[in-house]
Amino acid sequence: MASSEEPIHLYRTLSPYYSLLANHRHSVCHLSTIMKFEVKKTPQGYVWDEDGKKNYIGPEDEDGLCCPNYGCVGPNEIVGTSVSAISNVYVKELASLRREALQMVQDIDKELNQIQQGKFKVVEIP
């Protein structure tokens, strides 16, 4: 008897933090590809077969991200229950990077201004 259950899919990609490390020429994480794959739900989370090997990951949290500290997904990847759960991680990280960059620009402008106004000490060494 064939199962009439709808297949369950999860979505997987590189974490934004790994994206930053892998893309060393830029200081901005880049989301290029999200992989969609079929899984089976279990009481402990999700399981799927890949090359004849069973893989597993813990259940999702309130943001739709599956527990990264449980299962076979490494620290360089994130897994979520939807494309939006994955993209939200990138949106949050990019917003954080933007805030840091704006603060850096303000700090640079302040330092340039002080230097241009000669607001620094010259200490004479005896």
pLDDT single digits (tens) 94-106: 898 889 889 999 9
What ranges in the chain are assigned the alpha helix state H? 16-22, 83-116
Give yes or no for a contact between 19 and 30, defined as CB atoms under 8 angstroms apart.
Answer: yes
Q: Are strands 35-42 and 45-50 parallel, antiparallel or unpaired?
A: antiparallel
Q: What is the pTM of this model?
A: 0.70
Q: What is the pLDDT of residue 2?
A: 43
73 pLDDT band, cuts 50/70/90, is low
* 32: pLDDT strictly greater than 70: yes
Q: Which 8-state DSSP code applies to residue 12? A: E
In a 13 Å sphere around the CA of 82, the CA atoms on its Cβ side amount to 7
Q: How many CB atoms lie within 10 A of CB 103?
A: 10
pLDDT higher at 94 or 27 = 94
* 5: pLDDT strictly greater than 90: no
Q: According to the per-residue pLDDT averaged within each range, which of 13-27, 40-54, 59-73, 106-120 is highest?
A: 106-120
* 29: pLDDT strictly greater than 80: no
